[in-house]
Chain A
Amino acid sequence: MNQECLIILSPDLSPLGELNLDGETCSQINLNQEGEELLGPHIAQWQTHGLDRPTLNSIRTDEGLGHAVCHDQVKLNSEDFASALRVWLDDHGYLHLTLPLGAMAAFCEIQKMEIDQQKKFELAVMLRDLPIHKLV
């Protein structure tokens, strides 16, 4: 199984936490203090009710054919959760990066560097795009 980390970043690109993924299934969620404040209650909601995923469906009513904005709930242990979470993060102004597990040590080193958040983010993107054997 492909093991990866989905890193969640705030709108100003500071890390908030990460999800450990086995394929697209979430096995664990870790949040730092800021992440807990911003996302903790949402995650607690998702654990009980699932993650709301808005969808546009065609519907027919007395007035004819139209579109309805509906939603479904994606469970935390579902194979769809990671992709639904990425859409939710996009919609709500957060950013995310999915890195191979082997890249996390290098990601942590990047966070310690004395450079601005935009540069750290771009370095992390380049890290993501490195061939896996170069990370060993």
Chain B
Amino acid sequence: MAWKILGFEKSPFTKTDISSLLGILPKFMTNNLDSVSFHQGNLPVNQYSLKGIDHARVRSLFLPGREKHKIIFANPTHESEHERFFYVARFLPGFLRVTSLAGLTAADQESKTRLSNLVSQALLVRPADRSTEAWRQALANRFCAQGYQIERAHALCGEAEHGLTDLDPDLDISGCAADLAAWHQEVIKRLARATARNMINSRVEDKHARANWYRLLTSDELNEYEKPYEDFKQLRDLLATGDPHRVAALNSLALALRNL
């Protein structure tokens, strides 16, 4: 199976990010991955072969040519940096879900729909910590939200766990879910920082003023009298932690820069 991802051009993603993502997906998903292609529209930009050990988990990526590649998501047109960031931040979790569904092997065809739903839920739930108990409770809450009664939701958690471990006995489900959540958070953090920096550089010409902006957004040593610290509290949280629920905070920077 060749994967193709269509979208926009610029990205801070690296080989390590893709290795990390593929490394934590269970091997029944990566077994049939032959290559990952990145396109702009229908034109190939780069193609990467995946080298593993037969059907074992992918161990490395072979990336011919450049060190950095371009991840592309769905070809949007955006007028501003923060809108592009906003789009990627919204798109990324759904991308992980649909690509995890596509990763199931043909051997699972009979129970594919049911298992695919369980898999995507199980891997994309956001546990409070890496413990199996936290993962199970988070997954049960999701099943409840989707209409299952509480007892049935907990039974489904057991099915998800057995189904996944039958396919991959070495799979640490709660660890995978925690790793995916952490990876997502790291991506958001780096994207947000890069976007904030580009936004400031494009609107603020004086280098001392730029430095002051960066300090306002990232320094731990601001005193209580420094304004507009309170206005940017959520944005500072976003840049420090990559909390995906704070992605909208970048709008406050766009507004402030527009009013300069």
- Contacting B at CB under 8 A, from A18-43, are 37-42
A71 to B98 alpha-carbon distance, docked (Å)? 11
What residues on A are CB-neighbors of B126 within 8 Å?
11, 93
A40 to B124 alpha-carbon distance, docked (Å)? 24
Interface size class of B (residues with CB under 8 A): 35 or more
B52 at the interface (CB under 8 A from A): no
Nearest CB in chain A to that of B137: its residue: A118
A61 to B47 alpha-carbon distance, docked (Å)? 13
User: Which one of B6, B149, B244 lies within 8 Å of A125 (CB-CB)?
Assistant: B149
What residues on B are CB-neighbors of A54 within 8 Å?
74, 91, 94-95, 97-98
A66 at the interface (CB under 8 A from B): yes
A122 at the interface (CB under 8 A from B): yes
A79 at the interface (CB under 8 A from B): no
- Are the CB atoms of A91 and B4 closer together than 8 Å? no
- Are the CB atoms of B90 and A52 closer together than 8 Å? yes
A69 to B110 alpha-carbon distance, docked (Å)? 24
- Are the CB atoms of A121 and B99 closer together than 8 Å? no
What residues on B are CB-neighbors of A98 within 8 Å?
147
B158 at the interface (CB under 8 A from A): no
A11 to B101 alpha-carbon distance, docked (Å)? 23
A68 to B216 alpha-carbon distance, docked (Å)? 40
Nearest chain B CB to A91 CB, angstrom units: 4
What residues on A are CB-neighbors of B30 within 8 Å?
none
* B27-56 interface bits toward A, Cβ cutoff 8 Å, 1 = contact, 0 = none: 000000000010100101001000000000
Nearest chain B CB to A52 CB, angstrom units: 6
- Are the CB atoms of B39 and A67 closer together than 8 Å? no
User: Which one of B44, B87, B150 lies within 8 Å of A122 (CB-CB)?
Assistant: B150
A64 to B2 alpha-carbon distance, docked (Å)? 9
- Are the CB atoms of A95 and B145 closer together than 8 Å? yes
What residues on B are CB-neighbors of A125 within 8 Å?
144, 149-150
Given A56-B99, A63-B47, A86-B146; 4 other pairs, CB 8 A cutoff: A54-B94, A61-B39, A93-B93, A118-B141
Binding site for A on B (CB under 8 A): 1-6, 37, 39, 42, 44, 47, 73-74, 86-87, 90-91, 93-99, 101-102, 121, 124, 126, 137, 141-142, 144-147, 149-150, 181, 234, 244-246, 248, 251
